[in-house]
């Protein structure tokens, strides 16, 4: 039975409440399956600014680097909105992504049968939706140089550069194919190859990598069409792989298919060290400290950690089944109210899922 060191960075707002719920559920997994999980806590975001004067203290980074995986809550809140740029909570998040080399962001989008009516889309359209978006996280237009604003001869200009190295595309596309192998064996590579050189390279590399995976089907889709298809016929997708900015936009769009932000987990995988797991949602200052937040996104993020960082498949499934069971029994946090059921607090939801594990 394994020993695992988990760095827990609750952050701000509901980040604290939902990570504490996820830790409770992981403890239950440890008891049931006989694993030793050691939880060590670090500061990040606004909490770190208040206590250590920086959004990502050295100590937190070291803690993460010495751990087997990182569980993060959320950062930010109105308290720090007027801070200067280097003292914004979000800086902590960008810094940790860079420092841990978290190049692949995985966002599963699943619409549970009992929650179809929580989605703003028609029930028959979203029922059965089950795909993963694989977003490249450390390259592309958010990092390419040159980038900035210049005034030349009195004329104001701004530039950003969409740059990808072949190896950066290769590793993210390969990750997508490996995932697809364990799923419905279909990869949709999203690009803008009719206009962008970086997308033409992306497409070529995707074709090359595909040769290593003859059992998986590869299709290419232009990003504008993908934005439409996600709403028109979302069930056609299995694994979507795309560059940083397209992935940013498409994954927010796709989040609405599952009904609530409070349901969506994510994993950010590292090339070299520990990977990081966090709910897709933010710190939700409007409901922070009210015992109302939906802890499921954080709990499902912990399940992804069990599966992807520790290879504990049965344990991950036990957590997922416990979540389904709680939903099937009609338990709903307030954000899921449109789908009926009985409204419960964060703690009650956590207790129920723990008990089911
Ligand atoms: P960020 O900038 O950190 O991404 P955001 O502005 O996108 O944050 P969130 O903090 O994710 O916003 O919250 C958006 C809305 O969704 C809020 O009204 C919040 O109450 C609700 N919300 C987000 N997460 C949850 C959750 N886990 N449970 C219930 N409601 C949530
Ligand atoms: Mg947001």
- How much distance in Å is there from the Cα of 90 to the middle of ligand 2? 11
The verdict on 55 and 135 lying in the same domain is no
Residue 321 pLDDT greater than 90, yes or no:
yes
The response to whether residue 293 sits with its C-beta less than 6 Å from ligand 1 reads yes
Told to judge if 4 belongs to the known catalytic residues of this protein, a careful annotator would answer no
Nearest ligand, measured from the Cα of 283? 1
Q: What is the mean pLDDT of residues 269-296?
A: 96
Q: Phi/psi of residue 139, each to 5°?
A: -130, -160
Q: According to the model, what pLDDT value does residue 262 have? A: 93
The answer to whether the CB of 315 falls within 8 A of the CB of 29 is yes
Residues 6+ apart with CB under 8 A from 163: 139, 140, 141, 143, 144, 145, 198
Distance 298 CA to ligand 2 centre (A): 15
**Collapsed DSSP state (helix, strand, coil) of residue 96:** helix
Q: Are residues 244 and 290 in the same domain?
A: no
Q: How many domains does the chain have?
A: 2
- The yes-or-no answer on residue 192 being catalytic is yes
What is the domain extent for residue 160? 120-258
Atom nearest to 18 CA in ligand 1: 27
What is the overall mean pLDDT for the chain? 96
Is 113 labeled as catalytic in the residue annotation? no
List CB-based neighbours of ion ligand 2 within 5 Å. 282
- 126 falls in which pLDDT band (50, 70, 90)? very high
* Residue 189 and residue 235 in one domain: yes
Say yes or no: 95 and 142 in one domain: no
Do 129 and 61 reside in the same domain of the chain? no
Region 48-73: mean pLDDT is: 98
In a domain, residue 161? The reply is yes
The predicted-structure confidence for 159-180, as pLDDT tens digits, reads as follows 999 999 999 999 999 999 999 9
Same domain, 244 and 126: yes
Two structure tokens written together for 321 = 């089944």
Out of 36-40, 267-271, 310-314, 338-342, pick the least confident.
338-342
Task: Write the pLDDT tens digit of every residue in 181-218.
Answer: 999 999 999 999 999 999 999 999 999 999 999 999 99
Last residue of a domain, one of 258, 290, 313: 258
Q: Are residues 80 and 189 in the same domain?
A: no
For residues 310-322, give the mean pLDDT: 97
Q: Are residues 147 and 246 in the same domain?
A: yes
Spatial contact of 341 and 332, defined as CB atoms under 8 Å apart: yes
The yes-or-no answer on residue 248 being catalytic is yes
Residue 337 has pLDDT above 90, yes or no: no
Quote the pLDDT of residue 57.
Answer: 98
The finding on whether 265 has its CB within 6 A of some atom of ligand 1 is no
Q: Does the residue 112 lie in any domain?
A: no
Residue 114 falls inside a structural domain: no
Q: What is the pLDDT of residues 214-262, one digit of tens each?
A: 999 999 999 999 999 999 999 999 999 999 999 999 998 998 898 788 9
Based on the fold, state whether residues 83 and 147 are members of the same structural domain: no
Q: Please identify which of the residues 50, 113, 224, 286 carries the catalytic annotation.
A: 224
Whole-Å CA distances, 338 to 115, 133, 254, 268: 9, 26, 19, 30
Ligand 1 pocket: which of 248, 281, 291 to mutate (most atoms within 8 A of CB): 281
For residue 113, the model assigns a pLDDT of: 87
298 lines ligand 1 (CB under 6 A): no
Q: Counting atoms of ligand 1 from 1, which one is nearest the CA of 90?
A: 3
Q: Give the percent of the chain with pLDDT over 70.
A: 100
pLDDT per position as a tens digit, 283-310: 999 999 999 999 999 999 999 999 999 9
User: Looking at 258, 279, 303, which one is the last position of a domain?
Assistant: 258
Mark whether 69 and 9 lie in a shared domain: yes
pTM over 0.90: yes
| 113: in domain | no
- Distance, in Å, from the CA atom of 239 to the CA atom of 265, rounded to the nearest integer, reads 16
Q: What are phi and psi of 13, to 5 degrees?
A: 55, -135
Whether 102 and 127 map to the same domain: the answer is no
Task: Give domain status of residue 111, yes or no.
Answer: no
The per-residue pLDDT for range 64-93, each reduced to its tens digit, is 999 999 999 999 999 999 999 889 999 999
Final residue before a domain boundary, out of 197, 224, 258: 258
Flag whether 96 is in a domain. yes
Residue 94 confidence class, pLDDT cut points 50, 70, 90: confident
Q: What is the mean pLDDT of residues 81-106?
A: 93
In DSSP notation, 157-185 reads EEEEE----HHHHHHHHHHHHHHHHTTTS
Own/partner pairs for 229-232, CB < 8 Å, 24+ apart? 230/254, 230/257, 231/121
Q: Which helix (H) or strand (E) holds 198?
A: helix 197-210
Closest CA to 280 of 294, 355, 226: 294
* Same domain membership, residue 134 and residue 78: no
Kindly report the CATH number assigned to the domain that includes residue 72: 3.40.718.10
Two tokens, residue 90: 């979000």
Distance of alpha carbon 133 from alpha carbon 16, whole angstroms: 26
Task: Answer yes or no: is 222 within a domain.
Answer: yes
Predicted ipTM > 0.85: yes
Supply the pLDDT for residue 346: 98
More confident residue, 119 or 51: 51
Supply the pLDDT for residue 156. Answer: 96
Task: Please indicate whether residue 82 is annotated as part of the active site.
Answer: no
In a domain, 268, yes or no: yes
């Amino acid at each position: 039975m394994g020993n695992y060191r988990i760095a827990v960075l609750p952050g701000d707002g509901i980040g604290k409440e939902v990570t504490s719920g996820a830790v409770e559920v992981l403890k239950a997994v440890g008891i049931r399956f006989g694993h030793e999980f050691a939880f060590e806590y670090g500061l990040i975001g606004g909490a770190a600014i208040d206590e250590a004067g920086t959004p990502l203290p050295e100590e937190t980074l070291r803690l993460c680097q010495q751990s087997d995986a990182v569980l993060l809550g959320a950062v930010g809140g109105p308290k720090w909105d007027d801070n200067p740029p280097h003292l914004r909570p979000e800086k902590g998040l960008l810094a940790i992504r860079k420092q841990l080399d978290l190049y692949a962001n995985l966002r599963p989008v699943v619409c549970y049968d009992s929650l179809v009516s929580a989605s703003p889309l028609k029930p028959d359209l979203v029922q059965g939706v089950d795909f993963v978006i694989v977003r490249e996280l450390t390259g592309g237009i958010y990092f390419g140089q040159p980038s900035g604003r210049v005034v030349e001869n009195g004329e104001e200009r701004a530039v950003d550069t969409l740059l990808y190295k072949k190896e950066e595309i290769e590793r993210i596309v390969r990750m997508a194919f490996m995932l697809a192998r364990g799923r419905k064996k279909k990869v949709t590579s999203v690009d803008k190859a009719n206009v962008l050189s970086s997308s033409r390279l992306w497409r070529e590399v995707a074709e090359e990598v595909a040769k290593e995976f003859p059992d998986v089907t590869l299709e290419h889709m232009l990003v504008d069409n993908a934005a439409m298809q996600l709403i028109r016929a979302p069930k056609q997708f299995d694994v979507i792989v795309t560059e940083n900015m397209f992935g940013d936009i498409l994954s927010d769009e796709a989040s609405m298919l599952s009904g609530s932000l409070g349901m969506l987990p994510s994993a950010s995988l590292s090339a070299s060290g520990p990977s990081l797991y966090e709910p897709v949602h933010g710190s939700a200052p409007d409901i922070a400290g009210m015992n109302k937040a939906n802890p499921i996104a954080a709990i499902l993020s912990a399940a992804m950690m069990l599966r992807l960082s520790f290879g504990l498949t049965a344990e991950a499934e036990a957590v997922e089944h416990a979540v389904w069971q709680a939903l099937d029994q009609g338990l709903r946090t307030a954000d899921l109210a449109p789908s009926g059921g009985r409204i419960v607090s964060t703690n009650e939801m956590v207790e129920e899922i723990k008990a089911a594990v």
